[in-house]
A and B are shown apart, each in its own frame.
Chain A
Amino acid sequence: MTASDTHRAIDAVWRLESARIIAGLTRMMRDVGVAEELAQDALVVALEKWPESGVPDNPGAWLMATAKHRAIDLLRRNKRLETKQEQLGHELETGPDTAEAEIDAALDDDLGDDVLRLMFISCHPVLSTESRVALTLRLLGGLTTDEIARAFLVPEPTVAQRIVRAKRTLSAKRIPFEVPPEAERAARLSSVLEVLYLVYNEGYSATAGDDWMRPALCAEALRLGRVLAELAPKEPEVHGLVALMEIQASRSSARTGPSGEPIPLLEQNRGRWDQLLIRRGFAALLRAERAGAPLGPYVLQGAIAACHAQARTPEETDWARIATLYQALARLTPSPVVELNRAVALGMAFGPAEGLELADRLTGEPALKSYHLLPSVRADFLARLGRSDEARSEYERAAALTRNERERRVLLERAAACAPGKTGP
């Protein structure tokens, strides 16, 4: 094995193990910043030793043991410097061997729970959204600050600063390393889910970053979602989000054309949808439903995605069910965009007049003022109702609002296809 092979192997080991190592060390040191530094130190030792000695049999355990020894040294030193009596420090006094054994025992069980605690701490609401995202990708995804910076198209020092500040905030506010108590749990969990979905969407809708990082962000969010689903199996919203991400990911190769142009859902070649991911999405939804709780926003969105995935052709889509799901979603998280989606579903299920009625009610919404999909949806309904003149002007309005060139062309084609004067004077 050459030195660069070893480095790549070490990098892979780090990616696979770092979250668990940092999580275990955080439990020991009660400080996520110190824990990460210790883990990094262990990585540096590995980078020095492994090219000579070869990668050890159990590299994760090796890294953990190395980091742990440094942690114990640090605790001893702190103990000597300060007279402050920490529980661990006290045990060190009574005998270093027992202390070490106890730390070993503490670190050996519940590694999974430690990772869950790490997710809760890195997505803590006391941090800004940007910090939560950066810290999660760093601590749980093992991404470098450079990779995070490239993904979000921000300078690397900005990301580094966000992470440093986040760690400092967690430490200063003495945020406990724990699975939140029952009363806080729902809010804290939704903060974790929000971060994962944000990372996923950043990759999926690609507002920034280079081509390599975009799919990597989707993959990372999906991976962390799957991990979370195993660690918190009784939380239906976690399964709902996983279902949503799995099903959206199943369409990734069908959603762009040969020159990178976006292809809308109903025009995609369904033969290119990834059936394995679709099945995983369905399985996640079943797990969510089995929890028996009232359906939350992620489960509802997952269920809507599943409705589309289930239809072999666009015509087979169960629009009535989708409309019902959007209605439930609108009740939980009211938003004009959700209402517009519901209007589309209603129009597809019960005819253009019904869809148009709801869409018309949205024309006064300030949030949709420059949203091209509102006139575009209204135009489709108007065209289907034979009100061609109105349809044409709505298509033109939509074309003027969209920022996507291909979409603009399609909308203008549709405007031109509206035969003039059918219902006009």
Chain B
Amino acid sequence: MRFLLMTTGDPQATAAPLDENLMIEMGKFIEEMTQAGVLLATGGLDPNGIHIKNSGGEITVTDGPFAEAKEAVVGFALIDVRSKEEAVELSKRFWKIVGDGEGEIRQVFGP
């Protein structure tokens, strides 16, 4: 089963440089997830996103950053696990490394 783990937050606030210790811990965690055959893809997202909207055939494209962006997705990991509970457990481990913050877990259905 695939799950997308997302970290949400204010892109401006999270733009601060990460401390070195956290980077090391994170690196170890990512290595461990890869070694366990769990991690399929991971990445961070550019806070300067593009907003696109279709309204009655009229498509509007607006460049970010956006003022109200507290719930924007700022990073993600796509994982392959055996159950929802495993996804939650791995997400907990991630948050114990990262510290305060919020995120979402969604199951990804097949292509």
> Chain A: residues with CB nearer than 8 A to chain B?
8-9, 11-13, 15-16, 57, 59, 112, 216, 219-220, 222-227, 230-231, 252-253, 272-276, 280
Contact = CB atoms under 8 A, between A and B. Distances in A.
A234 to B, nearest CB: 15
Interface string B73-111: 000000010110110111000001000000000000011
A274 B111 contact: yes
Nearest to B40: A276
Contacts of B15: none
Contacts of A274: 110-111
Interface residues of B, number: 18
B82 A9 contact: no
Contacts of B40: 276, 280
B34 interface: yes
B43 to A, nearest CB: 13
A11 B85 contact: yes
B89 A16 contact: yes
A32 B92 CA distance: 31
Interface pairs A-B: 10 shortest CB-CB? A226-B37, A12-B85, A230-B35, A223-B37, A12-B86, A8-B85, A12-B89, A274-B111, A253-B110, A227-B37
Contacts of B82: 15, 216, 219-220, 223
Contacts of A276: 40-41, 111
By secondary structure, the A interface counts as helix
A273 B110 CA distance: 10
B87 to A, nearest CB: 8
B36 interface: yes
B80 A223 contact: yes
Contacts of B41: 276
A165 B17 CA distance: 56
Nearest to B89: A12
Contacts of B96: 57
Contact of B37 (A224, A253, A275): A224
Contacts of B36: 16, 223, 227
Nearest to B111: A274
Given A223-B80, A273-B111, A275-B111, A12 B88 contact: yes
A9 B111 contact: no
A226 B90 CA distance: 18
A222 B81 CA distance: 11
B93 to A, nearest CB: 8
